[in-house]
Amino acid sequence: SIVAALARRHVTGDFHTFTAALPSKVPDERDDARKLAEHLGSTHHELVIDPDPAEALGLIPWEMGEIVGNPTAIAYHYLYRFARGTLKAVLGGDAGDEIFLGYPRHLCHLKDSALRKLPFPLRQILAATSGGLLRLAPDSMALRRFNGQALRSMADDVSCHAEWMVHMRPEARAAMFGRHVASLFGGAVPHAEDLKRAIMLDQPGMPYSILDKSLRADVEMLLPNWTFAKSDRLGWHALR
């Protein structure tokens, strides 16, 4: 929404906005997108995505430069291909969650979280119990969500944030592709230990709180080295 609003200021002619949804309609943000498009006076386009798994698995890793377990890549892939019939370039909304605290990892820093108030041994029991139940009911999203929260509640703030930021560790990438080939795929994703050091680094002028330092690590390390690089590559290939 912010990107579209800022871009609208600089476009005097036709202005197009795009949104996508899955057939399940969960989640479905099309109503919000329509309201924004009406407010901006844009020509609005909607796409219901019914992905072909074989096509997605065959094309998206090539477009992004490596194998990535990010489901939003599927939506972007089809949305970009839908938009290329109208436009040669698009602006996306990546980085909103990083900047405006939209991810679960940011909850690690909220000390009033119910689980983090519990004694550590009790958190261990909850994590182990929910993990055992999850193995019996692997399709339960509620159990999966709670187990993740219980596991994260046992980590310190810095470790919790850093582990969330690492999508594919350098060791896993090197084992999958080989070190030389891995170096060609999108640059270096910082290792969790590097992120921890960056978050805890204390220099004059740096943010004081751990949350502020974590956001700074997001903006200066994760976004340019990973999110923007992958989105740009995916968009470039899909729009061609």
pLDDT over 80 at 41, yes or no: yes
Q: Cβ atoms within 10 A of the Cβ of 110, count?
A: 11
Per-residue pLDDT band at 166 (split at 50, 70, 90): low
Tokens found for residue 149: 């929260």
Q: Reply yes or no on whether the pLDDT at 155 is more than 80.
A: no
More confident residue, 32 or 182: 32
User: What is the value of pTM for the model shown?
Assistant: 0.62
pLDDT, mean of residues 148-175: 69
- Whole-number Å distance between alpha carbons of 15 and 26: 28
For residue 181, the model assigns a pLDDT of 47
Distances (CA, A) of 211 to 151, 157, 216: 19, 8, 9
Q: Does 72 have pLDDT greater than 50?
A: yes
Best mean pLDDT range from 1-5, 50-54, 148-152, 236-240: 1-5
Mean pLDDT rounded to a whole number for the chain: 77
For 124, residues 6+ apart whose C-beta sits below 8 A from its C-beta are 154
